[in-house]
Amino acid sequence: AQSVTQPDIHITVSEGASLELRCNYSYGATPYLFWYVQSPGQGLQLLLKYFSGDTLVQGIKGFEAEFKRSQSSFNLRKPSVHWSDAAEYFCAVGARGSQGNLIFGKGTKLSVKP
């Protein structure tokens, strides 16, 4: 069965600084991978997803993520963080070849210092 680990519960960065949120997964083959963002009191919004092909995936709001098979990772990055990026971020993994449900990490809360 697949699993997802987001090692960082809370991260604080200064506005304009770069950001990397970590995500590690456990799965026997190449999974489907997703990053979602949740603003306070809101539902989750899909930032980006990886299915196959180019391992560097571009998403909305200037985010990107890189799939690294050797490290079982799918880290989310942004070169310059804006105050509006303060939110909670969830990584999710889905199994291929089935109707299996997505498995979500426990989330990383991002705070942005002015």
Partner 1 sequence: SQTIHQWPATLVQPVGSPLSLECTVEGTSNPNLYWYRQAAGRGLQLLFYSVGIGQISSEVPQNLSASRPQDRQFILSSKKLLLSDSGFYLCAWSVRTGGVNYGYTFGSGTRLTVV
Q: Under the rule (CB under 8 A), what is the footprint of partner 1?
A: 32, 34, 36, 41-46, 49, 51, 90, 92, 94-102, 104-107
Closest distance of CB 73 from partner 1, Å: 19
Please, which residue, 31 or 85, has the CB nearer to partner 1?
A: 31
The Cα–Cα gap between 32 and 85 comes to: 24
Tokens, residue 82? 């804006």
Q: What gap in Å lies between CA 42 and CA 31, rounded to an integer?
A: 27
Work out how close the CB of 34 gets to partner 1 at its nearest, in angstroms, rounded to a whole number. Answer: 5
Are the beta carbons of 49 and 34 closer than 8 angstroms?
yes
Shortest Cβ 51–partner 1 spacing (Å): 8
Cβ closest to partner 1, residue 11 vs residue 32: 32
**Nearest distance in Å: CB 17, partner 1:** 25
Residues paired with residue 104 on neighbouring β-strands, in sequence order: 92
Give the nearer residue to partner 1 in terms of CB position, either 4 or 112. Answer: 4
Residues 6 or more apart whose CB falls under 8 angstroms from that of 98 comprise none
